Amino acid sequence: MLIANPKATSTSRRVRDLLVRAFSGDLDLEFAETAHRGHATDLAREAAAGGYDVVIALGGDGTVNEAVNGLLADGPSPKAPALAVLPIGSTNVFARALGMPAEPIGATRLVLEALRAGRHRRVGLGMADDRYFTFCAGLGFDAEVIRVVERRRGAGRRPDPTLYLRVALREFFTRTDRAHPALTLERPGHPPEKGLFLSFVVNTAPWTFLGRHPVNPAPRAHFSTGLDVFAMRSLAVGPVLAAAAQMLLPGGRPVRGRHVVNVHDASRFTLRADRPIAFQMDGDYLGERTEVQFRSVPRAIRVVV
C-alpha cells in the first residue's frame, strides 16, 4: 500500500502519479490518499491487518509518524509490514537519517532496488506515553515554534527554513517564558534534574536540519541505541547562543556547558512540568502536557532501505 499525503510540502499530482507508475510495474500496489490528520495511521493499521507486505509512506515526517503508529498498533511483530519512505516534506529528517536521498525520485530508485533485493534494516523507535516517534520529541521551546508554524501553514504559508527561524526568534524574545523553568527529568536510579526550560528527546542524529545543514544537540543518538536527551537550565541569550553554535559544528561532539543537561542511551524516563507546556513529536504539535513518559523500543520496525 502506498499512502500519500496530498498536502505535503513538495508534492504535486504529477509527482504522485509518476511515483505510483514507477512502483506499479514491480508491485501489486494499492494507492491511498490521506484526507485528514490521523488518516495515515488508520490506513497503515488496515494494511497491517490485511496482510500487506510493505507500506510506502509518501509525505513528510508527520505522515511517516502516522504510518508507523498504524503499523505498530498492536506492538512490534515480525509479521508486521515493512515501512518504506518517499520524502516530500519540508525537512524529511527520518528519511535523511536513514541515508536516503532527500527527494522522492532518488528515494524511489533506492526503495525499488531494496524491494527487488529483499533488503531492509530494523530500527529502534522512541515511545512517548502510548505513541511511537521516529526521530524526536520535545517539550518547551521547539514545540512552541512548531505550534506557530503549523498555524502559519494552515493559513497558506510554506514551511521553509526561514519561516522556522523567524518564528523561533519571535517566540524566543517575545513569548517564551525564559524566567520560570517548568520541567523536571526523572530517571530510574538517578536524582531528578530540576529547573529545565526545554528538552529534546532524540532517537537518532541529527535532531533536525536547517536547510541542508544538520542540527545536532545529541550527536551520539542512533537508531540502534536508547534515547538521548538534551535539556537547558537557562534560556539566557548567552548560554542559548553557545549551545546553538555547538549544535551546528561538524565533528559529532555533544553540546557542553554548565547550563546543559545531556543523557545518552536511556531506556526509560519521565519529563514532568509544573504547568502545561507545549509538546511535539516528529515535528507535529500535539498540544500541552504536564507529564510524558518515554521509553526506547529496540528493533521496533523493518524499514526498506
pLDDT score of 154: 84
pLDDT score of 10: 62
**Backbone phi, then psi, for 22, in 5-degree steps?**
-60, -40
pLDDT score of 23: 83
pLDDT score of 11: 60
pLDDT score of 153: 86
pLDDT score of 210: 86
**SS3 assignment, position 161:** helix
Q: For strands 54-59 and 2-4, give the pairing.
A: parallel
pLDDT score of 24: 80
CA distances from 154 to 37, 158, 202, 285 (A): 13, 9, 27, 13
pLDDT score of 246: 96
CA 172 to chain centre: 22
Mean pLDDT, all residues of the chain:
93
Whether this model's pTM surpasses 0.85:
yes
CATH class of the domain defined by 2-119? alpha beta
pLDDT score of 22: 84
Residue ranges for the chain with pLDDT beneath 70: 9-12
CB-based contact 276:288 (threshold 8 Å)? yes
Question: Fold for domain 136-299?
Answer: Tumour Suppressor Smad4 (2.60.200)
Nearest to 149 by CA among 60, 274, 44, 217: 60
Q: What are the pLDDT digits (tens) for 22-38?
A: 888 778 899 999 999 99
Gap between the Cα atoms of 255 and 262, Å rounded: 8
Domain definitions of the chain by residue range: 2-119, 136-299
CB-based contact 280:138 (threshold 8 Å)? yes
